[in-house]
A and B are shown apart, each in its own frame.
Chain A
Amino acid sequence: MKPKRDVGIAGYGAYVPRFRITAAEIARVWKPSQAAALKTEKSVPGPDEDTVTISIEAARNAVYRAQVSPPDIKAVWVGTESKPYAVKPTSTIVAEAIGATPEVSAADWEFACKGGTEAMQAAIGLVGSEMVDYAMAIGADTAQGRPGDPLEYNTGAGGAAFIIGPGAESVAVLEGSYSYVSDTPDFFRRQLQEFPEHGHRFTGEPAYFRHVLGATQALMTELDYGPEDFALAVFHQPNVKFPTRAAKSLGFTKEQIAPGLLAGVIGNTYAAATMLGFAAALDHAQPGDRILCVSYGSGAGSDAFSFVVTEVIEEKRARAPRVQEYIDRKKMIDYATYARYTGRFGK
């Protein structure tokens, strides 16, 4: 899929909360015998942080990079699975906070971990049709893990915002996108449930791999590219193992995915995961680099994008903190503090 008008990323921004807890520390409480083997850590939202605040930080960074006047941003769309209100959009708060209201479209998007890239697809359409010049898509989450569940080791928090705009102003121009979806209930949360349920091994082959590989192969076939045509590739990252395996089976090297693979240091940031990885790849990329970006959302589906980095990136990149700066800015906390910050002892 590609709009008639050249579009791309006019600006992008990231945000990761500063608190970190190691998987080993979580294991110390739940499964001490496994602690020594665990080497990852994840980000934890502070007591006054949530998907709204995270989205706003990322959105501001995107605006700084884009150097666009906020009232010209005609859509602010947040993809998340941890929106503070079941009914009341996060997007309106973000739109107001960055000064884009009232002439703006705002709505929250849900498709598990790919709500943000869904919003990107739609933003591409809105800008590509010349209905508007700038539309912002955000992926942000404060992921919930049931205490003691294997998912708890990875559920992180973070956000990334992308302002889609005219190709000429973009740090990276869109070559094409593809969406691949099926009704696959690998991971879900009912209305009033606090924590999601997942299908253990069913979340692998029939879910993550089927859709990530399906979308990637379809996009590459449509654009007539092989893995060697891409400088960088970013895959959805619930952990380090899945994207590494997906990359390998598609023929991508470890070097191609390394800059965009953050799961080991910030965990799975759910709707932000692929987009934060993409932001990190953009922080790293050189003009002319082609970047593959493939998300995955449970339920299930994948959005695949191919972007080519332009000269514009050199100048715009420096205007806001890079993903690595947020990763490096960290304060380690223990399980009790983590339980307090994530509301286990009540708000």
Chain B
Amino acid sequence: MRQVCVLGIGQVPVQELWDKSLRELAVTSIVAALEDAGGVPVQALYVGNMLGGELTGQAQLGALVADFAGLAGLEAFRVEAAGASGGVAFRQGYLAVAAGLRDFVLVTGVEKMTERLDPEVTAALAHAHDGDYETFPGATPASLAAMIMQRYIHEYGVDRGDFAVFPLTAHQNAVNNPYAMYRKALTRAFYDRAAMVAAPLNMLDCSPTCDGAASVVLGPAQVARDLNRPVVKVSSSGLATDTIAIHDRADPLWLAAVAQSVAEAYRQAGKGPGDIDFFELYDDFTITAVLALEASGFAARGQAVRFANEAGIGLDGQLPICTMGGLKGRGNPDGATGVYQIVDVVQQLRGAAGANQIDCRVGMAQAIGGSGATAVTHILEVEK
């Protein structure tokens, strides 16, 4: 397996992009990434997307996006793993180059969620959960996450208000990200007053519905070194699954797929939690971020909220998370998010994170599908 590097990144500002279609978003991010990579001849395209069929009536996104990007003929297909789609598409790209099958690969995450009204979008997002046993009787993504959060609070006696540090951090960091959807910092008072979505999750505990697309170009290390900028390599990739329904888990407060994917990533990269300088974790709901910290080895069981408040998860904290806004501040265009996370990591490692720049060498990105049924973790490093 040869070393794989990120040669180029491109992204579209995350918003309610009323005037932009799904294909237009994807192509815009591809053009930016190819330009950033110096125009290498890509040989494959992997498209991460969850809701193309449900909300746009469009499937076969691999062929569609390749076609409209002027790359018809390329190996191309769509990768779907609910919220992890973008991360898994990135893994596909990584594997193709690492295996020596392809030299230059394009990975695109794209999602168009604003074309439909809220009830339809919620119903489509619920496809990430067990259709027969969870959503058919009426559970939604928010209500399932709410039940987990309720249990967490009960088990560990955590104060409800202590969770605020997660969305507050995300929004604070999004202020300086021109591609972020929400660029205003939040106050604790604002968080405490926020309306309930599904108790105890309030509006600010839930990432927004939005549109977006991000792309990365992957290639061999020797090409990256010729590009006259910091060389960012993909050190490892781990992917695992868990039961799809929460009720089938031995422990609903343990994200086993996260733990497994992280263990694989640490092993391949020869690293541990102490080596990770920052973590682009999956904060679709605040509780997911909390459990991801624990399953990824950064905090003991039941301690992640205290860790966040005491050790710190801001840019100057012990473990910066969501350094460019995360899902809550930057936005969560579902299937595209996993690729936006990679873009955020690369910007940090290149030293191109602007006002949000932290001192770093090793970054971790992790995308999660549903209630943790799929988890994909990547560790990236910059060559110094």
Q: Which residues of A contact B (CB under 8 A)?
A: 33-34, 37, 199-202, 205-206
Contacts and interface: CB of A to CB of B under 8 A. Distances in A.
Closest 8 pairs (CB-CB, A-B): A206-B18, A200-B117, A200-B118, A201-B16, A202-B18, A199-B117, A205-B18, A205-B16
Contacts of A205: 16, 18
A206 B114 CA distance: 12
Nearest to A202: B18
A30 to B, nearest CB: 15
A24 B19 CA distance: 36
Nearest to B19: A206
5 contacts: A34-B195, A37-B195, A201-B16, A201-B114, A205-B16
Contacts of B118: 200
Interface in B90-149: 114, 117-118
Nearest to B16: A201
Nearest to A184: B18
B24 to A, nearest CB: 16
Contacts, number: 14
Contacts of A206: 18-19
Given A37-B195, A199-B117, A202-B114, 11 more contacts: A33-B196, A34-B195, A200-B117, A200-B118, A201-B16, A201-B114, A202-B18, A205-B16, A205-B18, A206-B18, A206-B19
Interface of B: 16, 18-19, 114, 117-118, 195-196
Contacts of B18: 202, 205-206
A200 B117 CA distance: 7
A292 to B, nearest CB: 27
Contacts of A199: 117
Nearest to A34: B195
A37 B195 CA distance: 10
A242 to B, nearest CB: 16
Contacts of A201: 16, 114
B255 to A, nearest CB: 31
Contacts of B19: 206
A3 B52 CA distance: 52
A296 B373 CA distance: 47
A185 to B, nearest CB: 12
B16 to A, nearest CB: 6
A33 B197 CA distance: 12
A276 B332 CA distance: 42
Contacts of A200: 117-118
A199 B16 CA distance: 13
A200 B195 CA distance: 18
Nearest to A197: B117
A122 B117 CA distance: 36
A15 B16 CA distance: 39
Contacts of A33: 196
B177 to A, nearest CB: 20
User: Which of B18, B114, B195 is packed against the most chain A CB atoms within 10 Å?
Assistant: B18
A186 to B, nearest CB: 10
B143 to A, nearest CB: 15
Contacts of B16: 201, 205
Nearest to B196: A33
A33 B118 CA distance: 20
A153 to B, nearest CB: 15
A281 to B, nearest CB: 32
A114 B310 CA distance: 56
B373 to A, nearest CB: 29
Nearest to A199: B117
A33 B198 CA distance: 12
A149 B378 CA distance: 44
A34 B203 CA distance: 14
A37 B114 CA distance: 28
A330 to B, nearest CB: 29
A212 to B, nearest CB: 16
Contacts of B196: 33
B94 to A, nearest CB: 36
A199 B116 CA distance: 8
A35 to B, nearest CB: 13
B198 to A, nearest CB: 12
A200 B19 CA distance: 16
A201 B117 CA distance: 8
A205 B114 CA distance: 13
A201 B118 CA distance: 9
